[in-house]
Amino acid sequence: MDLKTATSLRRLRLVSAPEAISFLLLLVCSVLKRTTEFNAVPVMGMIHGVLFVLYVVFWADAWNRAKWPLKTAALYFVLSVLPTGGFFADRRLRREAEDAVIASRARKEGVVGA
């Protein structure tokens, strides 16, 4: 894995958890708007919207650079529209990055021909 691919995966990973948190907070704000006088939906909606757009942009960049199959790319996109999906995306992306580092070190040391 080259540096640009690793960077694009890291950016996607870094925005996935905040996007999930903002989605959950937006849901809470929506419930509070309907049950109390508290209305933070416009603010949380904008924050979540910005984070979601960033996620989609970083997702498209990661898909392009990592050469994911359609199934993997679709999984990461579906995780972005689920309320807690960003947490699962973060975990999978972290595991993928760690595996790539291990494989890269093994190739440098000549342990495997991968």
How much is the pLDDT for 92? Answer: 92
**Cα–Cα dist 108/114, whole Å:** 10
What's the whole-number mean pLDDT along residues 34-44? Answer: 94
What's the whole-number mean pLDDT along residues 73-96? Answer: 92
**Cα–Cα dist 92/95, whole Å:** 5
Confidence of residue 113 (pLDDT cuts 50, 70, 90): low
Residue 52, C-beta contacts closer than 8 angstroms, at least 6 positions apart: 19, 22, 23, 80
Provide, rounded to the nearest whole percent, the portion of the chain with pLDDT above 70.
Answer: 96
How much is the pLDDT for 112? Answer: 60
Return mean pLDDT, the chain: 90
How much is the pLDDT for 114? Answer: 52
User: Taking phi first (over 0 means left), then psi (-120 to 50 degrees means alpha), and beta for anything else, what does residue 101 get?
Assistant: alpha
What's the whole-number mean pLDDT along residues 79-84? Answer: 90
What's the whole-number mean pLDDT along residues 54-64? Answer: 95
